[in-house]
Amino acid sequence: MEDSTPSNCQRPDTDRDGGKYDSLQGRQLCKKVLAKYVTYDPHDYILDGVCPVMDGFDLLATTPCGSGKSGYLILLMLVVRVIAADETLAIGKEISPLDPVMIVVCPMKALEEDIAKQSREAGLTVIVINSDTVDVARKASRNIWQEASFTMVMVSPEELASRDFSQLLGVKEFWDRIFALGVDEAHLLYFWGALFRPLYRRIGHLRERLPMRRGRKTRLVALTATLREGAPKDCICKFLSLHVGKYHFIRRSNACPDIQLFFRNM
């Protein structure tokens, strides 16, 4: 069910060679597929982002905390995997590898675990790779990177610089499955990338390393709850290679009219 929070969508150029999932037919297909995996009717603003990505475009979505941002990642992969396994459902041309995987870069371990939990509840297979999980696996004489044959690979920014991650990208079976790159809390590229946590800027470098298909970069899904126009947005678009007219932009209001402020003298 849609809510009343105002939103602003900027659609990319529609002349690019691709499918037609960003249409009434495409939305109906998505809802039909998702009805088998989730018990709720997806918000329209989630499908506003999922469908253009299926058509080959990138997505930058700014929606409030608690609005279901993880749905852009989870619902996208649910639909894509079903269509990849049954080509009779496809609208237009092929949209993904046969067994697609999404790499999701998340800046905080709690967020990684939260998205992983939601993804598993929806039926996706997920692995979380950060300093904690790598250490636990090492103590158990396991190489967690060799276990990364999942639908979603949640990875912390620091791991992007590791030799193990580079080796994972070098595994042809994994490389051929890469469908999309997810970036949660994308605004931190501007606020953290310069000084506090410079490794966060490696997300932009990572995108340049991922496979090209039919002349397109690997699809990008960048999410945040807050993003100012001007320098912050320009910086993020530059790092992530988001070019005007070539990506779908969603901005939903953070206004909370039901919140009241009370001031008391202490």
Whether the Cβ atoms of residue 148 and residue 127 lie closer than 8 Å to each other: yes
**Each residue's pLDDT tens digit, 242-265:** 888 788 888 887 666 677 888 999
**Number of domains making up the chain:** 1
Question: Which region holds residue 66: left if phi is over 0, alpha if psi is between -120 and 50, else beta?
Answer: left
Residue 197 carries which side chain, given as an amino acid letter? R
**Each residue's pLDDT tens digit, 77-128:** 999 999 988 888 888 765 667 789 999 998 888 888 999 999 999 999 999 9
On whether residue 127 sits in a domain, the answer given is yes
On whether residue 2 sits in a domain, the answer given is no
236: phi then psi, degrees, rounded to nearest 5: -65, -45
For residue 173, what are the domain limits?
A: 7-252
pLDDT recorded at residue 175:
92
Confidence bin at 11 (pLDDT 50/70/90): low
On whether residue 266 sits in a domain, the answer given is no
Tell me the C-alpha distance between 11 and 174, whole Å.
31
pLDDT recorded at residue 111:
85
On whether residue 144 sits in a domain, the answer given is yes
On whether residue 265 sits in a domain, the answer given is no
Q: What is the CATH number of the domain that holds 132?
A: 3.40.50.300
Tell me the C-alpha distance between 112 and 76, whole Å.
17
Q: What percent of the chain has pLDDT over 70?
A: 85
Tally of CB atoms within 10 A around 100 = 21
Here the tokens at position 75 are 């619902």
